[in-house]
Every structure is written in structure tokens, then in C-alpha cells.
Amino acid sequence: MELRIGRQINRLTDRIDRYVSNNDGQQQPTVLNMIKLYNDYGLSVMMSCMFSIDTIDVNSGVYQSLSGILTPSHWRILLLLLMPGSLLRLLFNITHPFPSRLLDVFVQLTSEQIKQRLINNDSSTTTDTLQYGDEPKYITCDEVVANLFAMFEAGSCTNSTIIAFITYDLATNPQIQDRLYDELIANCMDNREEQLDCDRLLRNDYLDAVVAESLRLNSSTLREGRIAASDYQLGDTGIVIARGQAVEFAKHAVHYCTDYYPEPNCFNPDRFLPANRHSIQPYAYLPFGAGSLSISQM
Ligand code: HEM
């Protein structure tokens, strides 16, 4: 997977390099839409890791539909947040943040991939998520497609959004950007001519701290929820959460709470360096959720 992601990172940096050299010396450089750039990157990573599709034509209908899934209209999201799902379905036939014909494209693409691999008995792509060399024995094809869709939707936008936020945080904190740059040059490459070493990048404490701090400041999901499995007494507050009751927590509020993070509005990666991490309290840092449903448990 690292190799696949590395290839997409190289394409992304090539695109940025091209943009910079085309604008070099121009008084009014053209504006680069970073979110679009990172969305393209997120989509390419998912296509490569899930289906071994390494290049996808950005002008193709499939590409347009998949990026439509990842950039849903704001009014649809608002409706889904504000109105009960059953009412939305009844009144407007809305079930997703994007039109269902886009979902059909994903289903068609995935089903086609499964069919091709079954026909070809193809085991050469076993490093991708689909890993389909044989007849499915334990789950149905529909379940495979549904799980892949959950991953595609949950994995693409979260990634591109946080990269965009990190770019912003570094641009607005140039001293931290310089420190990160110096750290990576010193520790992740042997000479200036070669590319950064992916293994060493993944083990770099300061890069890790920068990402962690940006995830604290910029939650990619608004809220997370759980349904209580049994009655639960909430400390000595006198409040009892009844079995079956939905509970939602606003992690943004926790991430900005001064009880847990001094100067919470300040972008300060040092909080997450190994020497300081122990002072982060359990459940006060929730970018990936917590408990058995969090991403780290996948
Ligand atoms: C910066 C990147 C990401 C962030 C911030 C993020 C955030 C989250 C959060 C907050 C949840 C809910 C967890 C909970 O309820 O406790 C979640 C669930 C999930 N995420 Fe991510 N995610 C990221 C990347 C990814 C990637 C790359 C994938 C897949 C390749 C992925 C797949 C999933 C799936 C499948 C779930 C549902 C887990 C379940 O309900 O059992 N996420 N993510």
C-alpha cells in the first residue's frame, strides 16, 4: 500500500511543482484550488489501494461521478443534518448527501472489478483491498460492494480535508513550517537530490505531531454518536442514560477545551511530541473516534 500511496504523492507533488514553475515570476499568479487538488489525490489513492487502478482519467464520466460523491452539495448535507431521514426519503427521495445515480456508478465499477477478477482468477493484485482471487465464501458480493463504498466515502474526503487543513496551518505558521521542513530534510533523505524516504517519514516524530495537532484543531466529522447498550449512571450528576438512548458528543468542544489544552486556539504541535504526549488525557483527543467503532479498531 505504501508504494501505491507513494506513487500518488509523487503525482501530487509533480502537479504542485508544475503550478509553481508556471507561475514563477508572474506578478499575479493564477489561483490554485488546493481542495480540488487534494480531492483528486484522495480519490486516486483510494482507487489505487482498493482496485489497483493506478491512473484514472480526470475527464472520464466515472471520475466525474466519483468526485461528485466526495463533494456533495451543501444544501443536501444541511437537510440530512436537520431533518429526520424518513421524512427526507418521503418528501424528496433523498437518502445520501449525493444523488443516488452517482452511487450506481460506484456499484457498477466495483461489481465489474469483482467479475473481472473472478473470470481471470487474478491473484496479481492481492495487495489491494478487493483481494478477490476466489468465489466469496463468507460474505455476499453486495456486502463486499457496501463495505468498499463505506471505505471509499470514509477514507477519501477525510484524507484530503485534513491535508488541506495542514497546508493552511503550516502556511499561517511559517516558523513551524520551517522547522518541519528542516526536520524532514535532515532525517528523511540522505542527500538533497533524492526523494524523501517514506519509511523514515512515517517514523518522524515532528511530522506526526504536526498532523496530530492539525487533527485536533480541524475535526473532519461534526459529531459522533453511540446508542447506549444498557442503562448508565453519569457519575454523580443524577443523570441516567437509558438503554437504547442516542448519545452524541461534540469532539470539537473537547478539542478546544482549556481544561485539556492550554491556549487551545494556538497551533502548537509540541503538545504531541513523545515527551509531552503523556499529558493528553484519555478521550480528550478524538479525531478518529474512540472505542470499538473507532478507525484504529478497524
Ligand atoms: C485523517 C483521516 C481520517 C479521519 C480524521 C477519520 C475519522 C473517522 C471518524 C471520526 C470515524 C468515526 C469513529 C467512531 O464513531 O468512533 C471514522 C470511521 C470510519 N472510518 Fe475514518 N477517518 C480517516 C481516514 C479513514 C480512511 C483512510 C479510511 C479507509 C481506508 C477510513 C474508514 C473508516 C470507516 C470504514 C469507518 C467506520 C468504522 C466503523 O463504524 O466501524 N477512515 N473515521
Q: What is the pLDDT of residues 161-203, one digit of tens each?
A: 899 999 999 999 999 999 999 999 988 888 776 777 778 888 8
Q: Ligand 1 centre and the CA of 239: distance in Å?
A: 30
Do residues 162 and 211 make contact, with C-beta atoms less than 8 angstroms apart?
Answer: yes
Question: 224-227 and 246-249: which strand pairing?
Answer: antiparallel
Q: Per-residue pLDDT for 26 more than 80?
A: no
What is the mean predicted confidence (pLDDT) over 197-221?
90
Q: Distance between CA 4 and CA 55 in Å, rounded?
A: 11
Q: Distance between CA 92 and CA 85 in Å, rounded?
A: 10
Q: How confident is the model at residue 207 (pLDDT cuts 50, 70, 90)?
A: very high
Q: CA dihedral in degrees (46, 51, 56, 60; nearest 10)?
A: -100
* pLDDT at position 257: 96
Q: Distance between CA 252 and CA 254 in Å, rounded?
A: 5
Mutate which of 153, 288, 293 to test ligand 1's pocket (most atoms within 8 Å of Cβ)?
288
* pLDDT at position 144: 85
* pLDDT at position 253: 92
Q: What angle do CA 189, 35, 56 make, to 5 degrees?
A: 80
* pLDDT at position 123: 61
Question: Which protein residue has the closest C-alpha to ligand 1 atom 4?
Answer: 158
* pLDDT at position 125: 58
Instruction: Determine whether 103 is exposed, middle or buried from the number of CB atoms within 10 Å of its CB (0-12, 13-18, 19+).
Output: middle
Q: Ligand 1 centre and the CA of 182: distance in Å?
A: 31
Least confident of 20-24, 169-173, 274-278, 279-283: 20-24
What is the mean predicted confidence (pLDDT) over 21-47?
83
Do residues 43 and 66 make contact, with C-beta atoms less than 8 angstroms apart?
Answer: yes
Highest mean pLDDT of the ranges 7-11, 98-102, 204-208: 204-208
CA 67 to each of CA 46, 108, 152, 172: distance values in angstroms, whole numbers, following the listed order = 12, 15, 11, 28
Q: Per-residue pLDDT for 56 more than 80?
A: no
Find out whether the beta carbon of 287 lies less than 6 Å from any atom of ligand 1: yes
Find out whether the beta carbon of 290 lies less than 6 Å from any atom of ligand 1: yes
Do residues 60 and 43 make contact, with C-beta atoms less than 8 angstroms apart?
Answer: no
Q: Distance between CA 243 and CA 245 in Å, rounded?
A: 6
Q: Ligand 1 centre and the CA of 153: distance in Å?
A: 9
Find out whether the beta carbon of 162 lies less than 6 Å from any atom of ligand 1: yes
What is the mean predicted confidence (pLDDT) over 223-252?
91
* pLDDT at position 8: 84
* pLDDT at position 137: 66
Share of residues in the chain with pLDDT > 90 (%): 30
**For residue range 89-116, what is the model confidence (pLDDT) as tens digits?**
888 888 888 888 888 888 888 888 888 7
Q: Ligand 1 centre and the CA of 150: distance in Å?
A: 9
Least confident of 75-89, 92-106, 127-141, 205-219: 127-141
Q: Distance between CA 43 and CA 159 in Å, rounded?
A: 10
The helix (H) or strand (E) run that includes residue 80 is helix 74-82
Hey, what domains does the chain have and what are their CATH numbers?
1-172 (1.10.630.10)
Q: Distance between CA 84 and CA 250 in Å, rounded?
A: 20
* CB count in 10 Å sphere of residue 196: 17
